Amino acid sequence: MIDIKNISKWYGSFQVLTDCTTTINKGDVVVVCGPSGSGKSTLIKTVNALEPIQQGDIVVDGTSISDPKTNLPKLRSRVGMVFQHFELFPHLSITDNLTLAQIKVLGRSKDESLKRGMKMLDRVGLSNQKDKFPGQLSGGQQQRVAIARALSMDPIVMLFDEPTSALDPEMVGEVLDVMVQLAHEGMTMMCVTHEMGFAKRVSNKVIFMDAGKIVEDCSSADFFGKPEERSPRAKDFLSKILQH
Amino acid sequence: MSLNLDFSFLTSDVVKANLLPGLYYSLQLTVVTMVCGVVLGTLVALMRLSSKPWLQRIAAIYVDTLRSIPLLMVILWFYLLIPASFYSFIAGGYGLAHRPEFSAVITFTIFEAAYYSEIMRAGIQSVSRGQVYAGYAVGMTYSQCMRLVVLPQAFRNMLPVLLTQTIVLFQDTSLVYAIGAYDFLKGFLTAGQIYNRPDEVLLPAAACYFAISFSLSMLVRRLQSRIQIIR
């Protein structure tokens, strides 16, 4: 479903991604991990072309993102994305946050988008908050609304960019619960996260990055089950993160 | 010399005949300039923040030029440079008869847009990059993202500053006196001439400008606390 082919990216003369290649199939739950500054967030943002790449290509559901003829907004409307800092629209109510893009981008009717939005809000357990504004919700609630907003667009794949990193510890669980449920329902997901428990339990594939390169690209069973086969850099990372 | 002030000529007839029409025009000029100036200014701000260097340059030249010339000179230049045929073209005989008034609206819009554009630029930059990403991520085009996500927030963040600039603008409209447009100040001056009180009339004029501007400032302050986005 997502084919990342030999992509490289530079910020000026600084190379953030070097020759990254991987494939994500329908139904995969892929966790991208690695030390900070390793290019994980940049990699996931290149998938829906929020960050442009200078070399290589990414093909999402048959559409190349580097083809100048590609309608990027249309492609992005089919790819859900959840951000570290939620990025709900603070000037709009929760309801409007859920329906805005459905109406303006997908051209759905008000009724239809409201119905779809409320269904998704109910799914993340926040129906009773529909008239509030983002600023009136806790971080965990905002992130769940953000997930509902992305789901309202009926995406073919969901991208999560450190969805729990900005949350208070006691709110991490409620967001992960929603993500686990989503994974069990067969949603194709790509998650940048440090939640190794989630990676172990839910993902079927782990990508480990360091210094802009994909160092490990293997099944999560192998990643966590056979540490002796891992690269030294991944071993080091795992030993630091798993001892807690 | 003794101060011999006499305001008795300021009767309700004078108010009706001279002051109110002037005030009406001054307010009209202020409101039209604010609306057109903010729209034009927002476009200039978007040009200045665009990724195309030539657009940035045009916007920068526009803003820097107008902000470096005194308003009074801009008013005079525009009045002298725009040919009469232009006014008859946009408003026929009425346009010709009210050439100073029309000229002032055009001048002020173009001039104030330079200031409004800098305010809107700051406003647009106050909206985080993440919000733009979020707009794009749900499939919005550049213009949708600007219209639906960035500008509403930029506008809200900047509303107090925009209104404060508008109050300054209201005071600046008195400069159209130089081209003979019939504004609030001109109303006072005319009354002063008719009743031979050209000096006294400046005091109530100042008092009126003060009262209007000051109460508007107070209003902005109250508004400011009410419209803030809950964060």
Question: How does pLDDT run across A107-141, given as a tens digit for each residue?
Answer: 999 999 999 999 999 999 999 999 999 999 999 99
Angle at A76 between CA A155 and CA A133, to 5 degrees: 75
Element (H, E) at B42: helix B20-48
Q: Cβ(A201)–Cβ(A180) under 8 Å?
A: yes
The widest CA-to-CA distance across chain B, in whole angstroms, is 76
- State the pLDDT at residue B70: 94
Separation in Å, CA of A80 to nearest CA in chain B = 7
B131 touching A (Cβ < 8 Å): yes
Backbone φ/ψ region at B92: left (φ over 0), alpha (ψ -120 to 50), beta = left
CB < 8 Å to A48, chain B = 137
Q: Locate tokens 């001439």: which residue?
A: B193
- State the pLDDT at residue B228: 65
Kindly provide the ipTM of the predicted complex, given to two decimals.
0.93
What value does the mean pLDDT of chain A take? 92
- For residue A75 the two structure tokens come to 């492609």
- State the pLDDT at residue B197: 84
Element (H, E) at A238: helix A232-242
B156 touching A (Cβ < 8 Å): yes
Section B153-162 average pLDDT: 92
- State the pLDDT at residue A242: 66
Q: Cβ(A20)–Cβ(A9) under 8 Å?
A: no
Q: How confident is the model at residue A37 (pLDDT cuts 50, 70, 90)?
A: confident
Which of A71, A79, A105, A133 would best serve as a mutation to test chain B binding (most B beta carbons within 10 A)? Answer: A105
Section B87-99 average pLDDT: 79
- State the pLDDT at residue A244: 55
Instruction: Express each pLDDT in B70-80 by its tens digit.
Output: 999 999 999 98
Section A3-20 average pLDDT: 93
- State the pLDDT at residue B90: 79
- For residue A62 the two structure tokens come to 């048959």
pLDDT at residue A215 is higher than 60: yes
Q: How do A2-11 and A55-60 pair as beta strands?
A: antiparallel
Instruction: Express each pLDDT in A58-74 by its tens digit.
Output: 999 999 998 999 999 99
Q: How do A14-24 and A2-11 pair as beta strands?
A: antiparallel
Could B133 and A45 be called an inter-chain contact, meaning their C-beta atoms sit closer than 8 Å? yes
pLDDT at residue B231 is higher than 60: no
Tell me which long-range contacts B191-199 makes (C-beta under 8 A, separation of at least 24): B191/B9, B191/B10, B191/B14, B191/B18, B191/B19, B194/B14, B194/B18, B195/B9, B195/B14, B197/B6, B197/B7, B197/B9
Q: What is the Cα–Cα distance from A61 to B210, expressed in whole angstroms? A: 65
Closest-CA residue in chain B for A47?
Answer: B137
Q: What is the Cα–Cα distance from B6 to A70, expressed in whole angstroms? A: 77
